Amino acid sequence: MKNELHNLKAIPYQDITDLQDLLDHFDSWQEPLAILDHFFQFRTGPINKKKVIKEYYA
């Protein structure tokens, strides 16, 4: 039983905070990605960059 307790590895606090920061970063991308998905949802065929830029800023 004591051997099993010694084999457990501790997770450093810095790794936990880094993971939280990464998750927050991913979460911050949800809204922009949803907007881009909606913008390009009905597009078919090749994409005309100039037309897309005009429509996006309009």
The model's pLDDT over 7-57, given as tens digits with 9 standing for 90+, comes to: 557 888 899 999 999 999 999 999 888 888 887 777 677 777 888 788 778
Residue recorded with tokens 């949800």: 30
What is the Cα–Cα distance from 56 to 48, expressed in whole angstroms? 12
- pLDDT reported for residue 50: 85
Question: Which DSSP helix (H) or strand (E) runs through 25?
Answer: helix 13-28
Give the single-character DSSP code of 44: -
- What is the pLDDT, as a whole number, of residue 56? 75
Instruction: State residue 52's pLDDT score.
Output: 76
By the 8 A CB rule, do 55 and 41 touch?
no
Which amino acid is present at 55? E
